[in-house]
Amino acid sequence: MASVTVNVAPSILDWVMQYASNVDSKISENLHKWKSGEKNPTFNQVEAVSKATHIPLGYFFLNSPPAEEFPILQYRTIDSLSVHDPSRNLIDTINAMEKIQDWMREYMIDSGHERLQFVGSQSDISDKQVVVQNFRELFNIEPEWYKEINTRTDAFKFFRSKFGEAGILIMMSGIVGNHTRRSLDIEEFRAFTLIDDYAPLVFINANDSHGAKLFSLLHEVVHVLFGVSSFYNDRYGTASNVNRIETLCNAITAEILVPSELFEKEWNKLGNEELNYKTQKLAKLFNCGAVVIARKAFEKKYITQNEYQAIVDEAIEHFRNSRKQSTGGDFYATTAVRFDNRLIMALDNSTVEGKTQFTDAYRLTNTNRETFSKLVEKVRGIR
């Protein structure tokens, strides 16, 4: 029995083909034949294209492309073609985080929690040092926080824990859901923040370098204090044409990571040492990226624009050369790192109390009955 053919509007095919650059040759060939009218697609073939491009199946049967709107993209740090035409990986990640935030907001309200007073609390303040001081007091962070921490990974964990305790959802992943072949592109974005009075959410692209992830985390939390959503797509915080809030967030983040007074003291200790040695030495001391140190030095007029740019270029090249494919590891440990611990425990409590369907918990966490239970156990162990 021959397969039943279906109609797909030409405008839909044109739109789908924008997302079909990485599909296999057979699917690409079919798309071009459908477009030319040489063949008509079957339902099974359309379903295969849907899976390959990650475009919802229902979209193929619309009369015209859907008007997909992503308000978060209006907050992009720098303008670029990629965020005007976001990838399906980015789209699906944003959608997933919005669903998680919506659930957590309802959970917090139903549980009797009050609004988080610090969200937007700095919106009327333009003095960098005032915000820095307020940030430290709010999250209980000392100026010399770095002295008890050994690595950038530990630094990330330290700040993530502080922010989580305060009520900010910190999510981090380098893939879409559990799809290891759907990697999130750091050239498209580093992080984003969804503002909410009950469940502000920060998402970090885990494919970035350790230093960059740390900077992104603090940068996004500063956005929470200003009450302004963020789509952070400036790879190294070097873009010059950014708005006032973005400039201020970068400066505040750098000051929290590397306090100016302490930086000057340590920089002067190194005297006439070679520049790369000084930046690497201080990056290790302050547990941050070399670019943050170089930016501090440039702002203090210790180095030239060309010297600063050379350090940025070297950091980019080093990161690209050092990137390696994941070798797997403990699935549950990896998954636990992706999710905010508070979210997992809240989902567990809500399902046990019968307020949330288990299927909804599985959907939000990309798990099933067995894997969700083990994930909860892993998170309990981490806490």
Most confident of 38-42, 57-61, 116-120, 309-313: 116-120
The percentage of the chain sitting over the pLDDT mark of 90, rounded to a whole number, equals: 63
What's residue 204's pLDDT?
97
Which of 247, 221, 224 is closest to 158 using CA atoms? 221
The number of beta carbons lying within 10 Å of the beta carbon of residue 288 is 26
| Residue closest to 270 by CA, chosen among 256, 285, 253 | 285
Average per-residue pLDDT in the chain? 89
Our CA dihedral for 287, 200, 194, 60, rounded to 10 degrees, sits at 120
Judged against a pLDDT cut of 60, whether residue 325 lies above it is answered with no
Whether the pLDDT of residue 186 is over 80: the answer is yes
Would you state the pLDDT for residue 83? 62
148, exposed or middle or buried, with CB in 10 Å at 0-12, 13-18, 19+? Answer: exposed
Distance CA(31)–CA(60), nearest Å, equals 12
Report the alpha-carbon distance of residue 266 to residue 254 in Å, rounded: 16
- Name the β-bridge partners of 191: 204, 232
Digit-coded pLDDT (tens) for 57-71: 999 999 998 887 888
Handedness of CA 240, 242, 246, 248 (dihedral sign): positive
Which residue's entry shows tokens 């998402």? 203
Count Cβ atoms below 10 Å from residue 161 Cβ, excluding itself: 14
Tell me: pLDDT of 95 over 60: yes
311, containing H or E segment: helix 305-322
The closest alpha carbon to 184, from 195, 176, 194, 193, belongs to: 176
pLDDT of 54 strictly over 60: yes
Q: pTM of the predicted model, to two decimals? A: 0.90
pLDDT at 305 over 70: yes
What pLDDT is recorded for position 2? Answer: 53
The one-letter amino acid at 239: A
Q: How far is CA 328 from CA 51, 52, 324, 331, in A?
A: 24, 23, 12, 7
